[in-house]
Amino acid sequence: MPNDPNKRINNWDAGFETSEIKAILDRKRPDMLARVTAQFTSLSSMEIQVKQVCDSLGISVILYPFYLDFGRELWHITHQTEMSGESAAIEAELLIVKWVARSLVRSVLEAIRTGVFNIGPPASP
């Protein structure tokens, strides 16, 4: 037998009691702020390093956003999913292939992979 729409509405309404949600968020906020501060600091540091690699290799400033996007994807793999070793190397290679297909320079992407993220090329072909 299908659920009564009023029952569904009441269940939804009970799950979104704003005073309870606020109390939960108020308790969690200091820890959440500490984590996001650490993540944003790490992300900003990575972006500066990617720009430095691009500068040193003479990449046009107009292309920086694309190289930064590559860096952010690699940062996500290494920081958010905590991938490392050969798995990170394989994922980095897949990202390089993707961005080369989008007309970025392979040697620059490899320099970012190695210089900023300390990831070498994958051992397997």
At CB < 8 A and 24+ separation, what contacts does 47-52 make? 47/71, 47/72, 49/115, 49/116, 50/112, 50/116
Element (H, E) at 90: helix 85-101
* Domain limits for position 88: 5-117
At 113 the pLDDT is 97
At 100 the pLDDT is 98
Does the pTM of the predicted model rise above 0.85? no
CA atoms within 13 A on the CB side of 58: 0
Task: Give, for all 125 residues of the chain, the pLDDT tens digit.
Answer: 567 888 888 888 877 788 888 888 999 999 999 999 999 999 999 999 999 999 999 999 999 999 999 999 999 999 878 888 999 999 999 999 999 999 999 999 999 999 999 999 999 76
39 lies in a domain? yes
Domain count, the chain: 1
The domain spanning residue 32 has which CATH number?
A: 1.20.58
